[in-house]
Chain A
Amino acid sequence: MGVILDGLVLGLQLALLSVGIVFVYGLGGVLNLAHGQVAVAGGLVAALLVQARQHPAVAGVVGVLAAGFLALGMDRTLLQPAYRRKGEERLLLALILTLGASFALDGFYTFRYPNVALSLRLATPSVEVMGITVRTASLAVGALSLATFGLLLAFLKGTRLGKAIRCIIQNEAGAWLCGVDVDRARSVTLFLSGLLAGVAAVGQGFFSFLGPDMGPEFTILSLIVAVVGGVRSLTGTFLASLLLGVVNAALSYWVGTYLTWIALLAVAVATLLVRPEGLLAYWP
């Protein structure tokens, strides 16, 4: 059963990545194919700071912020041509642009920092919780992820901007007509998605391993989870992440890596075939 717990923790990290992608899609109508690279940026910055003998907590926070600002930077520069267009054109253009950006970033990371990795492996003794053996690392990562989601939820439900963002997802024109600055909200959303991705990467790096080349893997995983969960539904994406996290952990435990990947993808494809809209087609 420790495996299930591990799976849930993995699922939470996956959720951090996927929710960010869905958020951006719902608000901006774009899919950021460089999402994984944004996450890795956060991990790399944290790693560099740790190398420079900074305290892990400081490194972590700065890393997360770095990821957020990278995403914001992309919104303000790279994605502007896409925002000038609408609907499918916007999506397609954004796909190409962010694809290019993902290559550029990936190349930059592996060229400039090929040997930099975040792997602190902080505190990993096992602990007995309700009769289940659990690694403290897992608990810590899980707690970190949950705390982040808690903050996100508080922002969305509590603040004025958060409410505006929720309504933009439902109806962009309606939001304009209520006096909401949709463009600014969009930028904030990208910043948030970067922060979430940063937390996922830093969390991974602190308790396991994060390398500079893991960008594409993150992106693909979060895309698949997002589609399975329903690209317009945050809750659905969250659930799908947990589901796939548990499936991944369980399978890794019993069979090899390759088979796990195949089974995971098969589960994803099967879900899509049965319910093309995703698990929960719509918000909330």
Chain B
Amino acid sequence: MLDVHDLWAGYGDVAAVRGVSLRVAEGEATAVLGPNGAGKTTLFRALVGLVRPRRGRVRFEGRSLEGLRPHQVVRRGIAYVAAERELFPQLTVLENLELGAYARPDGLRERLAAVFDLFPRLAERKSQRAGTLSGGEQQMLAIARALMGKPKLLLLDEPSTGLAPRLVAELYRRLDLLRRQGVTILLAEQQVGAALSLCSRVYVLKNGTLAFEGDSSDLRGSSHLHSAYLGGA
């Protein structure tokens, strides 16, 4: 579904992503792991168009994403939940969700109901300002808002950040539910355990390049993860 080939992207003189290639098959959950500064966020931002790639090719459902502005990428069916969440703090939960459906206003009510079903906590806080929600609730809202656009592919950047372990487990349960409902998932994580429990395929990024790619079962035994996070040649 998503085909990335030899992608190079960065800021100013610094290339944070160097020649990364990856593939995400439809209906799968794939993880991109790696320590801080490995280039995961830059990779995602390049995919969505918030950062212009220097080199390389990105194809989604067979069509190239080159030169598209972020709102156009979103309209093609890719939703991105940034690590910073990027909510609208002064607007209510409901208003944030409604804006998530900006590009696809039809069927708003059904989607709203589905999203509240998935995240009942948000239904309770419908009229509360997004800026006043707790970290976990904001994370849920960010994901819910992304879902309101009826995405085919959901990009999640470090969704477990700042969440208590219990909440992380809850979150990943819901992500699994989504996957089974047909949403393809690509997520970046620093916390390995939860990601491996959900995702079948894994890429490990280190200093902008791929250090490992394969099935998550293969990764468990290997030393690649260890060296990616803790250094070493």
Contacts and interface: CB of A to CB of B under 8 A. Distances in A.
B69 A178 contact: no
A175 B70 CA distance: 10
Interface residues of B, number: 27
* Main SS class of interface, A: helix
A90 to B, nearest CB: 16
Given A180-B102, A182-B71, A174 B87 contact: yes
Contact of B71 (A163, A181, A283, A284): A181
Nearest to B131: A170
A178 B102 CA distance: 6
B230 to A, nearest CB: 32
A61 to B, nearest CB: 32
B50 A173 contact: yes
* Main SS class of interface, B: loop
B103 interface: yes
A1 interface: no
B145 interface: yes
B82 A177 contact: yes
Contact of B99 (A163, A183, A282, A284): A163
A173 B88 contact: no
A160 to B, nearest CB: 7
Contacts of B214: none
A167 interface: yes
Interface stretch (B72-80, B168-176, B180-188): B72-80
Most buried by A among B75, B82, B88: B88
Interface in A147-179: 160, 163-164, 166-167, 170-171, 173-179
Given A163-B99, A183-B69, A282 B74 contact: no
Given A164-B102, A173-B50, A173-B82, A178 B149 contact: yes
Interface of A: 160, 163-164, 166-167, 170-171, 173-183, 282-284
**Which are the 8 A-B pairs with shortest beta-carbon distances?**
A179-B103, A174-B86, A176-B70, A179-B74, A170-B88, A178-B102, A173-B86, A181-B71
